[in-house]
């Protein structure tokens, strides 16, 4: 039995976050420092300072390291409220990739690594990036294709390779690099290094349809990067395992944030549909528009239930890898439909930047690809179901 009840203090916190985003963050959406590659670093720091002053910074991080220590189910409510603006998670310091990186560091980093990197990350003072994805024929959704390699060199390691579509790469202070042991194709290790380590080069920023991540998306070249022994994140050879520690919760928090953004698009469309008239009555009273509004409500409700279910499992000690995959597919597709319908309801207004809906539309489309495209998750879900059925048959 799943208890989806949300405690009163968390409901109050979510209302506080929603009010903070509506009052202090949304006015920044027209700031010139929000560009093609996301909010600039000085805009990010300005937003973080506002959230810090409001006592809302890093809700996902434990109190030991400067956060609010929320559980996964509590995050679901608060992250949805933060997502009312794509700048909301930036302000609260719970946006990707830093949010997922902080979770990973809390789980596997050494005390020294946590003090050096996790504490300033949780304070919003610095940013990080996670370098796993590679250009073809390297690793994308298939980690077995990982082509970046490392070799032992004395007490440390030497890393070579190329990484691509690395979110937040420009201006990051530290970088988590996923690499394969060139002597053992089945072993991968994560390295936590300063981003200015010799041999790490940002070759270019990619022009992408989304623009809600500080630092954009970059392509990195790693040439004879020397990684000391104390830069290993966790244990040598356990990189693939740690990837799942990070990715399962991270794909769920994507769902939480985008639920907030899609909900805002729906509210904008709903308000417009009740006051815009055509053919003698508000367009909301025409079935064509009314049914779209109803379908939006259904998709938002189903997405919220899927998020809460997976979050509850994580909070109760389950890996929830299967459930987070299902939530990722359901939410990424349902929430894209919500925003698409909202554009349609707004008509010509929906394709302009006179409302936030057009920007949300551009930003949310990538959600169906990031952290695993729907097709890969469907394949994994089907494989899980087949194996479960075979196990039941004995």
- 352-369 pLDDT per residue, tens: 999 999 999 999 999 999
- The full set of domain ranges for the chain reads 8-122, 128-235, 241-393
At residue 4, the pLDDT reads 63
What pLDDT does residue 7 have? 79
Residue 1 is predicted with a pLDDT of: 46
Report pLDDT digits (tens) over 207-241. 999 999 999 999 999 999 999 999 999 999 999 99
E strand or H helix at 227: strand 217-227
Instruction: Quickly name the fold that domain 8-122 has.
Output: Butyryl-Coa Dehydrogenase, subunit A; domain 1 (1.10.540)
Query: Is domain 128-235 in CATH 2.30.33.40, yes or no?
Result: no
Asked if residues 94 and 127 have their Cβ atoms less than 8 Å apart, the reply is no
| Number of other CB atoms surrounding residue 196 within 10 Å | 10
* Predicted local distance difference test score (pLDDT) of residue 3: 61
* Bridge partners, 156 (sequence order): 153
Which has more confidence, 5 or 320?
A: 320
Q: Token match 């000391």: residue?
A: 228
Assign domain 241-393 to its CATH architecture. Up-down Bundle (1.20)
Q: Which residues, at least 6 apart from 110, have a Cβ–Cβ distance to it below 8 Å?
A: 230
Tell whether the model's pLDDT for residue 85 goes beyond 50.
yes
The total number of residues written for the chain in this structure: 394
pLDDT in tens, 46-57: 999 999 999 999
pLDDT digits (tens, 9 = 90+) for 121-167: 999 999 999 999 999 999 998 988 999 999 999 999 999 999 999 99
Nearest-CA neighbor of 38 among 220, 124, 167?
A: 167
């Amino acid at each position: 039995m799943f208890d989806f009840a949300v405690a009163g203090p968390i409901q109050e916190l979510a209302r506080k976050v929603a009010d903070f985003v509506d009052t202090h963050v949304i006015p920044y959406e027209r700031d010139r420092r929000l560009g093609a590659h996301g909010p600039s670093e000085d805009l990010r720091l300005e937003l973080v300072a506002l959230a810090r002053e409001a006592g809302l910074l890093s809700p996902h991080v434990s109190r030991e390291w400067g956060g609010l220590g929320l559980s996964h189910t509590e995050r679901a409510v608060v992250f949805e409220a933060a997502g009312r603006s794509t700048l909301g998670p930036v302000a609260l310091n719970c946006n990707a990739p830093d949010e997922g990186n902080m979770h990973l560091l809390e789980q596997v980093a050494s005390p020294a690594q946590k003090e050096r990197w996790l504490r300033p990350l949780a304070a919003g003072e610095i940013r990080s990036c996670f370098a796993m994805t590679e250009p073809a024929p390297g690793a994308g959704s298939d980690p077995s294709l990982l082509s970046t390699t490392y070799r032992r060199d004395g007490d440390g390691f030497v890393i070579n390779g190329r990484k691509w579509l690395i979110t937040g790469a420009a201006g990051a202070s530290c970088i988590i690099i996923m690499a394969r042991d060139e002597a053992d194709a089945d072993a991968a290790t994560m390295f936590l290094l300063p981003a200015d380590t010799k041999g790490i080069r940002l070759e270019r920023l990619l022009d992408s349809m989304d623009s809600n991540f500080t630092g954009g998306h970059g392509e990195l070249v790693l040439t004879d990067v020397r990684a000391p022994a104390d830069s290993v994140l966790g244990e040598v050879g356990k990189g693939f395992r740690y990837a799942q520690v990070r990715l399962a919760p991270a794909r769920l928090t994507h769902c939480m944030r985008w639920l907030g953004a899609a909900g805002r698009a729906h509210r904008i469309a709903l308000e417009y549909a009740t006051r815009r008239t055509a053919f003698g009555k508000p367009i909301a009273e025409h079935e064509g528009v009314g049914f779209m509004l109803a379908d939006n409500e259904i998709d938002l409700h189903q997405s919220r239930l899927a998020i809460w279910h997976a979050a509850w499992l994580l909070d109760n000690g389950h890996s929830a890898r299967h459930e987070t995959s299902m939530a990722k597919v359901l939410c990424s597709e349902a929430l894209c439909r919500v925003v698409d319908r909202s554009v349609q309801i707004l008509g010509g207004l929906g394709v302009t930047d006179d409302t936030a809906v057009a920007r949300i539309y551009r930003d949310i489309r990538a959600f169906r690809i990031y952290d695993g495209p729907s097709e890969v998750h469907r394949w994994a879900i089907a494989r899980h179901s087949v194996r479960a059925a075979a196990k039941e048959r004995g």
